Amino acid sequence: MNTPFSSSARPFPIPVVALGPGSQDDEEQLDYITMPQGMSTYRAPALPEPEELAGHAGAVGVLTQALERLQALLAGETVEPVRLDGLTAVDLALVNQVLGEGEVSAQLLAEPDRLEAGARVRIQESVFAGVWRVIETGEDGTVQDTIELGAMPAVLRRAAREDARPVPVPAPDAPLPPGVLNAPSILIELAEHRQHWREGQPPEVVNLTLLPVTPQDIAWLDHQLGTGRVVILSRGYGNCRITNARALNTWRVVYYNSQDTVILNSVEVCGIPEVACAAREDLEDSAERLTEVLQWVSQA
Task: Give the model's pLDDT for residue 62.
Answer: 95
Domain positions in the chain: 46-151+278-300, 152-276
Q: How confident is the model at residue 47 (pLDDT cuts 50, 70, 90)?
A: low
Task: Give the model's pLDDT for residue 140.
Answer: 81
| Cβ–Cβ under 8 Å, residues 3 and 243 | no
Task: Give the model's pLDDT for residue 172.
Answer: 79
- The rounded distance, in Å, linking the Cα atoms of 182 and 77 is 46
Q: How confident is the model at residue 16 (pLDDT cuts 50, 70, 90)?
A: very low
Q: What's the chain's average pLDDT?
A: 83
pLDDT digits 0-9 by tens, 85-131: 889 999 999 899 899 999 999 999 987 655 555 678 999 999 999 99
Residue 27 has pLDDT above 50, yes or no: no
Phi, psi dihedral angles at 25 (to 5 degrees): -75, 125
DSSP string, 179-234: T--SHHHHHHHHHHHHHH--TTSPPEEEEGGGS---HHHHHHHHHHH---SEEEEE
Residue 167 has pLDDT above 70, yes or no: yes
As its CATH architecture, domain 152-276 has 2-Layer Sandwich (3.30)
Task: Give the model's pLDDT for residue 118.
Answer: 62
Distance between terminal CA atoms of the chain? 30
Hey, which residues does 256 pair with through a beta bridge?
A: 239, 262
Q: How confident is the model at residue 70 (pLDDT cuts 50, 70, 90)?
A: very high
Mean pLDDT of 222-230: 94
CB atoms < 10 A from the CB of 214, how many? Answer: 17
Topology alike, domains 46-151+278-300 and 152-276: yes
More confident residue, 33 or 204: 204
- The rounded distance, in Å, linking the Cα atoms of 112 and 44 is 37
- The rounded distance, in Å, linking the Cα atoms of 74 and 19 is 52
| Cβ–Cβ under 8 Å, residues 208 and 227 | no
Residue 295 has pLDDT above 70, yes or no: yes
Taking the alpha carbons of 244, 190, 10, 37 in that order, is the dihedral positive or negative? positive
The yes or no reply on domain 46-151+278-300 and CATH 3.30.2130.10 is no
Q: Closest Cα partner for 238 from 250, 218, 220, 256?
A: 256
Q: How confident is the model at residue 6 (pLDDT cuts 50, 70, 90)?
A: very low
- The rounded distance, in Å, linking the Cα atoms of 193 and 205 is 9
Q: 3-state DSSP call for residue 99?
A: helix
Residue 114 host element (H or E): none
pTM assigned to the model: 0.80
Q: How many residues does the chain have?
A: 300
